Each structure stands twice: as C-alpha cells, then as structure tokens.
Amino acid sequence: MKKVIVEVCAGTRCTISGSMDIVANIENLLSTYDEEGKPMYDIEVRNVPCQHDCEKDGSLAPVVIVNGEKIVCASSDQVMNRISELRD
C-alpha cells in the first residue's frame, strides 16, 4: 500500500469553501479496515497555510495537494478518487 500525503489549505477562503469537510472525509477513510483488520489506507493529512492560489480568483478554493498534485476547486469526491487511484 502506497502512502498518500494530502495537504489541505487551511486558509480562510478554502476553509469557507469546504476544505475542512474534505479533511473530515479523509479522516473517515483512516478508520476503514479490510477483512483481516488491517487499515485500507496509509494517509497523512496535513493542514497547510494559505497557498495563495485563490487570491486572484476566489473560485479556485478549496485547494488540496495530493502527493504533490494540486487540485483546485477540490471536492471530497475528487480527492477521494485521487487517493484511491494512488493507493493501488
């Protein structure tokens, strides 16, 4: 299982746009286990300071970086799908 590092912008605009909901959904994945009782995901979640991507265009929030790949206008579904792709 590949470790996935997720960096979620904790700036004001991203927080208002749902970045902490994305964190909550990722944390739910951390409590998912297979039939043998082993964790299904190896994820490190980091709240990071404002990335300044949305200063010129507020519609880019929230910003999430998954293993170095920046996702703007991130939704929980987008982030979860990317985590699943990288896990395999």
Domain enclosing residue 67, as ranges: 4-87
12: left (phi over 0), alpha (psi -120 to 50) or beta: alpha
Mean pLDDT on 32-47: 92
The tokens describing 16, both together, are: 């208002």
> 51 Cβ partners below 8 Å, 6+ apart?
9, 11, 14, 63, 65, 70
Residue 15 pLDDT > 90? yes
Residues 53, 70: contact at Cβ < 8 Å?
A: yes
Q: Which of 19-23, 36-40, 53-57, 58-62 has the lowest mean pLDDT?
A: 53-57
Number of domains in the chain: 1
CATH number of the domain residue 80 falls in: 3.40.30.10
Alpha-carbon distance 34 to 68, whole Å? 27
